[in-house]
């Protein structure tokens, strides 16, 4: 499975939990638009850490950097630790 | 630096004005990429005040600040204070319906909007709008160095903050200048803030923690650094890059940072004081924050909006004072000036060590609720020769004199520090579903704080429709995370909807499923 699809799957599950069945494009704002809440952001962060070895203690976390599937993809490309990926 | 602490007795903008005369080049505010000095901010506040009072003479009134984390927001509230008016902060992202309802209730004398506020306002019909709207700081009257902040009576209104109301209508808490003056003076005595201090402003203006951030900092001649919305949840880099010395936020910030493994030991070397306030503080997260901010004092502060921000305080010690069985830091002892008592259901004091409702009395009490004398009389009763505020919080006092928070006596919950009356969610849900067979429960609960709301209904409307309708009526933090349909709602033996059983149902489900990230 490609990275983008994996990210989409996680987002879709999180949205579904919130009774949000509206479609979303890879460019749609998810956090700043309020579609996902802070508790969802924790899930995304833990997913990125576990799956791609992103070290958030080093990168910090700016919601604007992981606001859409496109942005998360770019963020992962820049911050994944290949050994754990 | 030798700075005398300014007196706030007569105006919230007084200290800003006095510092602007003595040390005007110091930075007062950093917001949205702009750094602005005491002299510049005072001039801006004075110009906003001139704009507010340029019409015919009038009595002090309410100025709505429909702005957030922008220069307009801070200039607006300081301008209102300078003019002797009260500011009313409203979130520019409120649903239109709710904003319209609030504006009709408040009948403001003017409104200050930033870009986000103007966008929201443009969706409201402007026909019949009786108040002027300030949309740009460029169009203000010229600065007049002769004009000082208007003298106010101690009982004059400083601000009004709306909180969730159990009957479905938000209630406005009216806080006088006297209360803010007392708060700021006490905070300065406790912490001895200096002009070199660099304060965070993480709290939204519509949340009264911001009153501490701003007016305590400006009283001490310190600078305020507004946390951008994108960094609110994980302000790691913000604290580091700004070299903040004073941090104040809801404990959820510490909980989230800890859970995301971002609280490395020594991560915050610049912090001197960390104030965690607005909801229950888990010991584990407080200790993780302490390791990250090893040179900082970490304090748990508690206080309802009706008692002007902070009422009790507990320092994180080693070992910490823990509320047994809850994993929480105790809420501690009343701040100087406060008197606390624990009442039973009939308004008499309980024996020491017993649980009851916390009541507070002292100079930080609000004047009451906007246009609601009945609720004011009920929640601010006179007992003996004093006015008390009945907090609705269930507490007990231990042998050391410290208070422990045991939950609520009603159905109010806290979500990221926001007060949410489940009754208000149910009232809106009932009107959307056209039925009273609805229920709202706080879920999940994490160390005494709710992370969201789950609602139940039996109507024919789809979950999607209901959620959409609620989004148009309620602030974002009150919109349910889940909308669940049940054929019938469980009833307790007295015929009321059994919320405990609904919570148990969610707990059972949760035990059966795993978190998303661990699903394979």
Per-residue model confidence (pLDDT) at position A71: 96
pLDDT < 50 positions in chain B: 1-8, 514, 516-520
pLDDT of residue B379: 97
Q: How far apart are alpha carbons B450 and B59 in whole angstroms?
A: 42
Nearest CA-CA distance, residue B201 and chain A, Å: 17
Res B84: pLDDT: 94
Tokens representing residue B432 in the block: 């959307």
Q: Give me the residue from A17, A43, A61 closest to B481, CB to CB.
A: A17
pLDDT score of B1: 37
**pLDDT tens sequence across A2-38:** 899 999 999 998 888 776 778 999 999 998 887 887 7
Task: Name every chain A residue with its beta carbon within 8 A of the beta carbon of B464.
Answer: 19-22
pLDDT value of residue B448:
73
Cα(B195)–Cα(B253) distance, integer angstroms: 26
Which tokens sit at B105?
């209730």
Q: Chain B within 8 Å of A74 (Cβ-Cβ)? A: no
Dist. CA B488–CA B493, nearest whole Å: 15
How close, in Å, is residue A68 to chain B by CA atoms?
13
Q: Looking at the partner chain, which of B231, B232, B483 has a beta carbon nearest the beta carbon of A19?
A: B483
Instruction: Say what the pLDDT of residue B54 is.
Output: 87
Measured between CB atoms, does A37 come within 8 Å of chain B?
A: yes
Q: Do B233 and A63 touch (CB under 8 A)?
A: yes
Find where tokens 């919109």 sit.
B479
Cβ neighbours of B467 in A, within 8 Å: 18-20
Where are chain A's structural domains?
3-19+28-79
CA distance A12 to chain B (A): 11
Cis peptide bond N-terminal to B397, omega within 30 = no
- B438: three-class secondary structure by DSSP: strand
Q: Do A42 and B256 touch (CB under 8 A)?
A: yes
Mean pLDDT of the residues in chain B? 92
Position A83 scores a pLDDT of 55
Question: What ranges in chain A are assigned the alpha helix state H?
Answer: 3-17, 38-52, 56-59, 69-79
Across the beta sheet with B389-397, the strand order is B339-343, B356-361, B389-397, B403-408
| CATH numbers and ranges of domains, chain B | 1-152 (3.40.50.980), 412-519 (3.30.300.30)
Q: Which residue of A has its CA nearest to B268?
A: A57
Domain at A3-19+28-79, CATH class: mainly alpha
């Amino acid at each position: 499975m490609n990275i983008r699809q994996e990210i989409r799957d996680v987002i879709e599950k999180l949205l579904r939990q919130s009774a949000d069945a509206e479609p979303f494009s890879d460019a749609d704002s998810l956090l700043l638009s309020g579609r996902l809440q802070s508790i969802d952001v924790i899930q995304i962060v833990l997913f990125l850490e576990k799956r791609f070895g992103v070290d958030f203690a080093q990168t910090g976390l700016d919601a604007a950097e992981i606001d859409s599937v496109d942005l998360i993809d770019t963020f992962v490309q820049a911050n994944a630790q290949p050994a754990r990926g | 630096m030798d700075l005398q602490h300014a007196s706030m007795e007569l105006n919230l903008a007084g200290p800003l004005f006095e510092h602007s005369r003595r040390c005007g080049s110091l930075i007062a505010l950093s917001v949205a990429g702009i750094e602005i000095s005491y002299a510049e901010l005072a001039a801006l506040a004075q110009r906003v005040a001139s704009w507010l009072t340029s019409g015919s003479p009038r009595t002090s009134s309410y100025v709505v600040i429909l702005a957030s984390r922008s220069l307009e927001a801070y200039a607006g509230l300081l301008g209102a204070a300078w003019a002797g008016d009260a500011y009313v902060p409203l979130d520019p992202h409120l649903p239109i319906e709710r904003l319209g309802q609030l504006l009709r209730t408040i009948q403001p004398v003017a409104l200050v909007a930033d870009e986000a506020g103007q966008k929201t306002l443009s969706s409201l019909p402007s026909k019949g709008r009786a108040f002027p709207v300030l949309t740009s700081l460029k169009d203000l009257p010229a600065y007049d160095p002769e004009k000082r902040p208007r003298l106010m009576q101690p009982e004059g209104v400083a601000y009004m903050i709306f909180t969730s109301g159990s009957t479905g209508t938000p209630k406005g808490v009216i806080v006088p200048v006297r209360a803010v003056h007392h708060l700021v003076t006490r905070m300065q005595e406790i912490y001895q803030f200096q002009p070199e201090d660099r304060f965070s402003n993480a709290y939204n203006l519509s949340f009264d923690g911001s009153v501490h951030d701003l007016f305590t900092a400006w009283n001490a001649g310190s600078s305020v650094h507004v946390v951008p919305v994108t960094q609110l949840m994980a302000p790691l880099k913000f604290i580091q890059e700004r070299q903040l010395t004073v941090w104040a936020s809801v404990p959820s910030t510490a909980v989230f940072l800890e859970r995301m493994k971002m609280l490395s030991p020594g991560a915050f070397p610049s912090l001197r004081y960390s104030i965690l306030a607005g909801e229950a503080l888990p010991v584990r997260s407080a200790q993780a924050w302490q390791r990250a901010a090893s040179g900082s004092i970490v304090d748990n502060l508690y206080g309802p909006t009706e008692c002007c921000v902070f009422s009790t305080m507990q320092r994180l010690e080693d070992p910490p004072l823990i509320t047994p069985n809850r994993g929480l830091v105790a809420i501690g002892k009343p701040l100087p000036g406060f008197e606390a008592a624990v009442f039973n259901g009939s308004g008499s004091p309980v024996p020491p060590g017993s649980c009851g409702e916390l009541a507070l009395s002292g100079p930080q009490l609000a004047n009451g609720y906007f246009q609601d004398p009945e609720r004011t009389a009920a929640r601010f009763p006179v007992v003996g020769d004093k006015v008390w505020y009945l907090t609705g919080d269930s507490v007990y006092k231990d042998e050391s004199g410290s208070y422990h928070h045991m939950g609520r006596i009603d159905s109010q919950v806290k979500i990221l520090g926001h007060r949410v009356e489940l009754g208000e969610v149910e009232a809106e849900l009932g009107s959307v579903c056209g039925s009273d067979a609805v229920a709202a429960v706080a879920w999940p609960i994490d160390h005494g704080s709710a992370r969201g709301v789950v609602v139940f209904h039996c109507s024919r409307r789809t979950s999607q429709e209901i959620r959409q309708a609620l989004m148009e009526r309620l602030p974002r933090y009150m919109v349910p995370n889940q909308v669940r349909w049940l054929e019938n709602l469980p009833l307790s033996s007295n015929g009321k909807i059994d919320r405990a059983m609904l919570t148990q149902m969610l707990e059972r489900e949760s035990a059966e499923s795993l978190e998303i990230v661990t699903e394979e």
